[in-house]
Structures are given as structure tokens and as C-alpha cells.
Structure 1
Amino acid sequence: MVEIRHQYATVGEHRVFYREAGPREAPTLVLLHGFPTSSRMFRHLIPALADRFHVIAPDHLGFGNSDAPSVDAFTYTFDALTDITEALLAQLGVSRYAMYVQDYGAPIGWRLALRNPEAITAVVTQNGNAYEDGFVPEFWKPVREYWENPGPATEPAVRGALSLDAIRWQYLNGVARPELVDPDTWAADHREVSRPGNDLVQLALFLDYASNPPLYPQVHAYFRERRVPLLAVWGAGDEIFGPDGARAFSRDLPDAEVHLVPGSGHFLLESHLDTVAGYMRGFLTRGEGSV
């Protein structure tokens, strides 16, 4: 049985929760979760990798067991979440690592890579977008309208993403065997985004997501210049970040390994854990010690 350590660190004025497993002398793998969940999404992946890797999975500020200061006490932007993650890794003595990014974890991961390209040994992106190709227009239309004109006319549509039905949809849409997905996942996520004041946290991040697409050209240049090894393993049925987002990585990284997993959606680990873990172990250990 793999020992998973559930720990806290104080980063600036904030308490950050993280899961850690595996030998600290092993290559480090940092797992960065998406909306609306937490490092809980990696609860089964961590044991599958910790025999070979030193795994760290933090909860972003405002999510899971990390502090969730009000929007008056903390400015929620992807730059600010990256600051917290960068400071946490420095505090833990992590200077080189591979990273797994999903959903919100991707813009945080891309910022980490742009700030310190030498630190990143490899990237696994699981429905973690870096291209306009990845945006499914029907899903993103109300979000883009909110970016352009935040206010009472556009807020209700994006606020709907915090409902139990919308969160359940994120877990089940595109999944061929929904009985494999634990209903505790969407129940826990809904409970956390329903905490007093957390709706405003999430609205702030919805709005700041507009800062991510303008960063993509820099990310693409980073890919071309650094040739970072990249594995894109993607829920083929995801209607948030579609399969074209996975295929697009090959434009800037011709050697990227791309897998579209049939019968799976946005939260691929819930229905196809063994598939993802298998691809990751092969990718990250190809050429022993390469990461």
C-alpha cells in the first residue's frame, strides 16, 4: 500500500494543502488540478505512480482544503495562483519536475514553464488546453460573453456552472460507462464551490480566464524552442476542451505523444485511470531517468 501524506504549508499568508507520495529522491511529478475540483481528482493516480516518482499534488487557493480567502482579501487570477504554486514548490525544495496539467491546471502550468523553462522536464496534459482549437464553441460562448461584458446580463449563464447539475455534467458528459464515475466527486465539488463567498472566487477566475488565450503564442514558442517532451492524453468526448486541442500540440511539438481515449470525458481519471496511468508510466520512464 502506497503511503500518501496529506500536508499543509504556509505560503505567504495562506495555508496550502497538498498530497505527497513516493521517495523524495525520485524524479518529481507535480499534478495540477482543474475546476471545480481539487487534488482529490488524483487520489487514485498518485498510488499508481508513487513507486517510481515523488508526487506532489496541491490544492489551488480557493479549492479543496487550501485556504479560500474572500475576493476582498485575495485577488484571484491565474498569475496569482501560479505565484502560490511556484512559492510552494520552492519551499518544498523542488527545482526540476515533470507536470500533469488538467483544465485550470494548464494555464498555471504554462505560466510556471514560461517563468522557469529549465525547471520543466516533461509535460502530461489531460484535457489541459493551450490552443484556440481546443475551445468547444457552444460551451465557451457564454463565458466569452462574460469576458467581454461582465455584469448582470452575462453573469447568470456562467454562474450556472456552479450548480450541481452542471458539475455532474462535467463528470459524466462523453463517458460511455457513467456507472464507473463515483457520484461523491460532483457532490464534493458542489459542496466546496457552495461555501459562503466561494461563488465570487469562481466568478473572478471565470473572468480572468480571458488572460489565458493571449498567452498561447508564448506557450507555443516555448514548445518550439525547448522541445519539452509532451504527452497529451485526452477524453475524446470532452465538450469543454475538445480533441482538436490535443491534436494541436503536434504543430509545435512534432514528437508529442497524443492519445484520444474513446468513451471518456473531461475528468478522464474517473473512468479510465489505468489507461492514463499506463500511458504516463511509459512516457515518463522512456529512457530511464529522462524526466
Structure 2
Amino acid sequence: MIKDIRQIDPMRRRMLGGLAMGAIATGLAGPTRAIAAKEKDKPIMETHFRNVQVGDVNVFYREAGPVDAPVILLLHGYPSSSFMFRDLIPLLADRYRVIAPDYPGFGYSDAPPPERFDYTFDHLTDVIERFTDALGLKRYALYMQDYGGPVGFRLAERRPERVSALIIQNANAYEDGFTPDLRRIVLRLWTDKSAEAVAAIQPLFELPATRGQFLDGEPDPSLVSPDAWEAAQAGMERPGNKAIQFDLQANYGSNSERYAGWHKYFRGHQPPTLVAWGQGDKVFAPAGATAYQRDLKNIEIHMLDAGHFALEAHHREIAALMRDFLGRKLAA
């Protein structure tokens, strides 16, 4: 089921976004009114900032919500960190235990140099898998954005029995989602390490590209805080971090070789799936969102009038969609 947010008039769209904050808007009809009623007077939950040792890496993570509540594991994208979830976490934490780790090389987690840590998506998944063990997580819904997809889908393929649901926000698992620039600049590096190919990707690690990832495709850029791209760029400006990011970009092509296995997981396990996709994304095309229908039957797709980092301006809207979806699917 595909729902295009653009088909909702602007006033009702703002109302939907307000649901996660507990606002009940007049004029909402049917199921939307019922969702709003449930969200009224929701308490604000505190976010805790913690660390846990995972092998040789100290992993930073954000956590909020009751320890005995259903778990949502939030997996961030490039070039951000768990910081990208700062507005979403409080909107979910009254009902869910929400956990958002930083990968090695990102945010406040350790960033060992490439000669001491193999920066591949397989290895990032190893760390996150052991992270879930360290926290004793036996069951969780996966929220995946950008890099969160390659990490989360590997994790789901390894431990399908632990996945209660998938929330996919501009995280790709089909070649349909490849844009020309992604093929020309990023995917090329998987097989071509020439000086020309290496030079072509270097601008991706600089501030204009980072800013663009947060602003491109967003209809109202004034809703996106500069804190988002400044924090992401500050992480990359740390000594040695651009070498880390290069290694991961060069490894990104390995993910397409895993697509067939992920599709098999989708078909075999049919996890309840919510897709909330910023259709203005310049990294992954909207066709990447609709492609999930080929293998997942218990799926709802919402095309948002947003860009790659849709949470920056649309966290209330996405939180409302998640609360409604998970409230129905996890209770079933």
C-alpha cells in the first residue's frame, strides 16, 4: 500500500505531523482521529547517553524508554550518527525502548585507524550484532536509514528470529534505487580504484556535499537545523576520519552483491515493514522504495515530500506513522 503524502492537503499534513506530540487536531476523520486520541498527553521521556565496550571498540549509544518495552533499534546513515535521531527518540520513548548506537568511526564511538580496524559493512554489522548481545536485546524492530540498511539487513539475515518489524527510511536494497551519481561516483569504487575514481569521490567528504545531503529535496530548508550538517562535518574533520569514510564508500558496492540474499530473507520471513521515503532524495531514487513490494507482502509505503534525511524536518510525521504502524503490527 503506497500513500503519497503530497496527496494530503497542507493543513492535514501538518496535523498528521503533530500527532506524535499529542496534538489532537479538529477536522481529522476516521482512523487519523483515533490515532490522535491515543497520542494525547504523552509524557516526554529523557534520553540517556551511554557507552558499552564491544570487543576493542567503545560504542556510544542513546537510549530512552522503559527497559521492558518493545525495542526499536535505530541505525543511522552517512555522514551522520545517532545524532540524527535526537528529535525522533522522545516521540517514541513513552511506548518503546529506543536505542541508537554510533558505528565505529562515527559520532562518539571509537574511531580506530583503518590499519587497525577493517571498515567494511560486514565488520560494522559484526560490531552492532555484538552490541545487541551486550545489551541483551532478544527482539527488536529495525529502523534503517542510508548506511543503516546494509547494517540492518545483514543483521536481519543473520538473526531473522529477532526482528519484529522493519522501518525503512531511504535505505536501499534494490538496484532500482541507484541514481546516476551513485553509480558514477560511489559504486564505481568497488571495482575501480584508479586515481580518477578516487579523486571523483573526494568532494563527498567536504562541507558543501554534506550540507547538500541534508537540504537537497527538502521543500522548506528553513526547517533543517544547521546543527545537522555541522555535526556531521565536524565528525569527518577529525584527524584520519576521511580515510575511514573513504574505506566505507569504497566498500559500498559490496552491498549490491548481498541484495539477492536480503530479498530471500524478505520473501521467507515477511517481517511487517513500514517504508517512509523522502522522494526528493538525490542519493536513492523513489523507485528504491516501491521495489520492496516485490518481495514483502506485509508492507506499507509512504512517499514523503522530503529529502534523504527526512527526519530533520519530518520527525513528527514519521513518528506518527511509526506509532500507528507498530501499534497495529506488534500487537497482532
TM-score, normalised relative to structure 1: 0.97
Q: Secondary structure at the match of 2:317?
A: helix
Aligned length: 289
State the match for 2:41 in structure 1.
Answer: none
Larger-gyration structure (1/2): 2
Aligned partners of 1:124 and 1:231 also within 8 Å = yes
Residue 287 of structure 1: how far off its partner (Å): 4.8
For residue 170 of structure 2, the aligned residue among 103, 119, 127 is 127
Aligned partners of 2:156 and 2:163 also within 8 Å = yes
Rounded to whole Å, the distance in 2 between the matches of 1:11 and 1:42 is 22
State the match for 1:73 in structure 2.
Answer: 116
Rounded to whole Å, the distance in 1 between the matches of 2:166 and 2:280 is 22
Q: Secondary structure at the match of 2:195?
A: coil
Aligned partners of 2:173 and 2:262 also within 8 Å = yes
State the match for 2:192 in structure 1.
Answer: 149
Residue 145 of structure 1: how far off its partner (Å): 2.4
Instruction: Give per-residue Cα distances to partners, 1:247-271, cap 9 Å, x unaligned.
Output: 0011101331001002x10000011
State the match for 2:316 in structure 1.
Answer: 274
Q: Which structure 1 residue ranges, 5 or more long, are not aligned?
A: none
Task: Give the share of equivalent positions with the same residue, in percent.
Answer: 48
Aligned partners of 1:173 and 1:265 also within 8 Å = yes
State the match for 2:19 in structure 1.
Answer: none
For residue 85 of structure 1, the aligned residue among 125, 128, 140 is 128
Aligned partners of 1:27 and 1:289 also within 8 Å = no
Instruction: Rate the CA distance shift 1:248–1:13 in 2: closer, same or farther, 3 A.
Output: same
For residue 207 of structure 1, the aligned residue among 250, 262, 282 is 250
State the Cα RMSD in Å: 1.0
Instruction: Give per-residue Cα distances to partners, 1:100-151, cap 9 Å, x unaligned.
Output: 0000010000000110110101000000111000111233312222222113
TM-score, normalised relative to structure 2: 0.85
For residue 137 of structure 1, the aligned residue among 161, 180, 184 is 180
Does residue 51 of structure 1 match 2:94? yes
Aligned partners of 2:186 and 2:252 also within 8 Å = no
Q: Secondary structure at the match of 1:76?
A: coil
Aligned partners of 1:140 and 1:240 also within 8 Å = no
Q: Which structure 2 residue ranges, 5 or more long, are not aligned?
A: 1-43
Bigger Cα displacement from structure 2, 88-97 vs 253-262:
253-262
Rounded to whole Å, the distance in 2 between the matches of 1:46 and 1:190 is 22
Larger RCO (alpha carbons 8 Å, 6+ apart): 2
